[in-house]
Amino acid sequence: MTLTERIVEEARRLGADQVGIAPVERFAGAPLRMSPQGLMPGARSVVVMGLHHTDASVELGAEPRPQPEGAYLVQWRVMNPKLDDLSFRLARFLEAQGVRALPIVSSNIWRYTGYKDFKLDFAPDLAHRYAAVAAGLGEIGWNGLFMTADYGPRQRVVSVITDAELAPTPMYDGPPLCDKCMECVRNCPTDAFRKEVRGINEIEIGGRTFRFPDTNKWRCAWAENFGLDLAHEIPEVVNEEVLLTYLEKYGTAGGEEGSCLKFCMTPARRVYDADYCRAPRRKKEPSALSGAELVEGIRAIAEAGGVDALAVGTAGTVEAATGQRPALHLPDAASVVVLGWRSPGAGATRNDANLPRRMDYTAWEVAHYLDVNGHSAICHTRMNDVQSARALGVPKPGYRYMTVLTSAQLPAAQVHAGPQEPPSADDLRAFCLERGADLVGFFSAERFSEFRRAVGDPAPRQAVRDANPGPGPFFPEVVTEGGRLLGPEDWLPGARSVIVLGMRFPDAALDTAKVTPAETIGPFAFAQFETLNLLGDVAFHVVRRLERSGWRATIANDLTGRASKVRSSRGLLPDMRANADAALLAGLAYVGVHGHPITPQHGVRQRFVAIVTDCPLPGDPLLRTQPACARCEHPCVSACPTCALNGHGRTVTLEGVDFDLGAVDGFACDWAKRYCLSGREGPAYMGLDVDVPVPESRTAQAVAEAVCDVDWGAQKRHLNVAEECLRVCPAHRIHREEKSDVR
């Protein structure tokens, strides 16, 4: 099998509906700052993957108006995160094949108002829709959306850049996918294809030219991105200032399903059925799978999603038992699928498990599976999930449910996940690795007690929260954080062990940050939140495995509570020091001069999650490797834009081994990475002009005044940082060169 074939196979295995390969030569017309080569010099190919929108979410979502988006919300709640997973996991696969790979986020890391010489509003790192055309998957329609012969505009796509020379997918050369029916133009609620149009784009890709209106993105973003009410009379001129003014005056009214998507379909697949929906429907044929075979496929999806109870029944059964009418949500509903989960972390006092993500994913995966098998299927409707569970005989206290409706005739079924044999420590370690962790370590509650005695409680710190997390001004609120060293017992009474999982991110995500022609931090910001998401997924399954064996378990993103936060397009995240203590105690890492965990395998290039359990597990030996810092010229110290690393490290002794815990001036560090007041740390690369020196007076009031003085504009929604001390840290190279005797 060639590398190209292996990549395509892996992309399909990860769940992609479409895969194509674009050679970089097809990006010749792209601006350097938004090109594969501008993002990662040496790039040779771009792998593009697509996920099909379930037809019913497009056809039946957002009724009777485009806002709010109704069942179409799966676009941002499921499809974008799943595309992120695809991009990130395929990049890790590519790295494992020995080539460089840079995963690009699916959406929502943008420079709203361009960057330096690059004057483009809403500029992502890479335009996936153009990459998808370059990868031979389809064409651009008059609406500016990417279209394919199979799904019309009903897919979202994502890209991974690599230096691997791969076999290109031929350019699409079938019949035109857009026939200029102009339904997108007629239905646009902001009239974005007619008002404020700057001309006609002429985009050349792979020898083909696509022409479509050069719309004003601020107008298009009125509801779609900023959530402003479409009931307003939209001004003749829409720009950043107008949007911020309307937001301040009226607030938001919910997300929008783009009518340019909803009312668009390729002529070959377009069919109207006014009794079903206003939008064109997509012609499709049911696959040859029988109802029983479909139920088997659903069962496999449910099992992979950690579902505890699955029930399948007829729409008539649900209607008769509950009075709910499935046909109101899916006119041809014949069957109902109910998925139930026992909430993870029973008995825990703290829990960072992200059950909603698992529920959203699994329900969508079931609907998507039925859809690609040619049936109508919809999830995230207004059906009452608990009532559906009651109708199909699987209601249990403490369970949470999701409902999927489908036109497929499915035989009734009920599946309950049973108890499992308690895993041995080796089984558990293998389970974690199989599920995607790169590093696994255990430590006991006793070892933590020794750590507590050595470290003591941290001083409480005052932090400033933003009561206006959207775009525009910062509304500061002072809160107190920390003040106590949390331990396993604080998360789970009776805790005996902690499992620590690490996940590396691709080297290129940090190697390219700030220094390539694109001058972007997007891929590293992506890696920061995506590793948390994927680690959370692995941890969820580990908790499930333990709970089904009779143990209790809970998930901790910052076990000891000593970490702070880092600003991201996805909100405030636990910073990259989170779980440094846990990784140290599990024998996976030591703490560098910059206070971040360093492993011999990956340097600083990973994140950690902790699982606290009452299952007794043997502790792993503490790491006895010589820290890279001892053989390093400390570039982290000089690179820090706020001089936060000028103190003396604190040493603790555990089981006879000395560990330096780093010496970080938390106030100065947060000034840059949490409050984004230092341009060099990240905001300057997002196009913001901000550089406020750290004040003499180190108070929350000083932070509040500083953040209020900055004109954040729309970009406040997408503030990201790439921590300078992480970017310059050569620990991975030092360890790889010495090939240290890693256990």
Question: Which residues form the interface with ligand SF4 (CB under 6 A)?
Answer: 141-143, 178-184, 263-264, 592-594, 628-629, 632, 634-636, 640, 642, 644-645, 664, 669, 672-673, 681, 723-725, 729, 731
Nearer to ligand SF4, 90 or 731 (CB): 731
For residue 27, the minimal CB distance to ligand SF4 (Å) is 23
For residue 642, the minimal CB distance to ligand SF4 (Å) is 5
Q: Which two tokens stand for residue 33?
A: 């700052």
Nearest to 560 by CA among 627, 620, 614, 489: 489
- Is residue 446 within 8 A of residue 617, CB to CB? The reply is no
For residue 463, the minimal CB distance to ligand SF4 (Å) is 15
- Is residue 193 within 8 A of residue 184, CB to CB? The reply is yes
For residue 92, the minimal CB distance to ligand SF4 (Å) is 23
Nearer to ligand SF4, 181 or 289 (CB): 181
Nearer to ligand SF4, 240 or 724 (CB): 724
In angstroms, the CA 316 to CA 329 distance is 14
- Is residue 34 within 8 A of residue 123, CB to CB? The reply is yes
Q: C-alpha 146: how far from its chain's center?
A: 22
For residue 141, the minimal CB distance to ligand SF4 (Å) is 3
B/e letters for 695-705, b = 16+ CB within 10 Å, e = fewer, are eeeeebebbbe
Nearer to ligand SF4, 183 or 352 (CB): 183
Nearer to ligand SF4, 137 or 498 (CB): 137
Nearer to ligand SF4, 8 or 628 (CB): 628
For residue 589, the minimal CB distance to ligand SF4 (Å) is 12
For residue 161, the minimal CB distance to ligand SF4 (Å) is 26
Nearer to ligand SF4, 342 or 514 (CB): 514
Nearest to 348 by CA among 539, 584, 618, 577: 539
Q: Which residues, including other chains, have CB under 8 Å from residue 365's CB and lie 6 or more apart?
A: 15, 301, 305
Nearer to ligand SF4, 139 or 385 (CB): 139
For residue 735, the minimal CB distance to ligand SF4 (Å) is 9
For residue 261, the minimal CB distance to ligand SF4 (Å) is 9
Helix (H), strand (E) counts: the chain:
25, 29
Nearest to 667 by CA among 658, 654, 677, 653: 677
**β-strand 101-103 against 146-147: which pairing, if any?**
unpaired
Nearer to ligand SF4, 220 or 495 (CB): 220
Nearer to ligand SF4, 113 or 642 (CB): 642
For residue 102, the minimal CB distance to ligand SF4 (Å) is 22
DSSP string, 315-356: HHHHHHHH---GGGTSTT--EEEEEEEEPS-TT-S-----HH
E strands present in 54-145:
101-103, 111-115, 118-123, 139-140
Q: What is the dihedral of CA 7, 8, 12, 17, to 10 degrees?
A: 140
Nearer to ligand SF4, 305 or 523 (CB): 523
Burial (0-12, 13-18, 19+ Cβ within 10 Å), 276: middle
In angstroms, the CA 381 to CA 663 distance is 51
Nearest to 544 by CA among 338, 341, 300, 302: 341
Burial (0-12, 13-18, 19+ Cβ within 10 Å), 384: middle
Nearer to ligand SF4, 110 or 210 (CB): 210
**The amino acid at 96:** A
Q: At what angle do helices 700-709 and 666-673 cross, to 10 degrees?
A: 20
Q: Which residues, including other chains, have CB under 8 Å from residue 221's CB and lie 6 or more apart?
A: 122, 243
Ramachandran region of residue 672, left (φ > 0), alpha (ψ -120 to 50) or beta? Answer: alpha
For residue 636, the minimal CB distance to ligand SF4 (Å) is 3
Nearer to ligand SF4, 383 or 731 (CB): 731
Q: C-alpha 599: how far from its chain's center?
A: 24
Q: Which residues, including other chains, have CB under 8 Å from residue 524's CB and lie 6 or more apart?
A: 509, 510, 512, 513, 720, 722, 727
Nearer to ligand SF4, 313 or 683 (CB): 683
For residue 659, the minimal CB distance to ligand SF4 (Å) is 13
For residue 311, the minimal CB distance to ligand SF4 (Å) is 39
In angstroms, the CA 49 to CA 20 distance is 7
Nearer to ligand SF4, 85 or 507 (CB): 507
**β-strand 439-444 against 553-556: which pairing, if any?**
unpaired
For residue 180, the minimal CB distance to ligand SF4 (Å) is 5
For residue 58, the minimal CB distance to ligand SF4 (Å) is 12
Nearer to ligand SF4, 352 or 575 (CB): 575
For residue 615, the minimal CB distance to ligand SF4 (Å) is 34
DSSP string, 123-173: E-SS-HHHHHHHTTS-EE-TTS-EEBTTTBT-EEEEEEEESS--PPPPPP-
Nearer to ligand SF4, 565 or 594 (CB): 594
Nearest to 441 by CA among 621, 590, 586: 586
Q: Which residue carries 């409707």 as its tokens? A: 381
- Is residue 281 within 8 A of residue 55, CB to CB? The reply is yes
Question: How many other CB atoms sit within 10 Å of the CB of residue 251?
Answer: 11
For residue 61, the minimal CB distance to ligand SF4 (Å) is 17
Q: At what angle do helices 522-547 and 80-96 cross, to 10 degrees?
A: 100
In angstroms, the CA 542 to CA 429 distance is 10
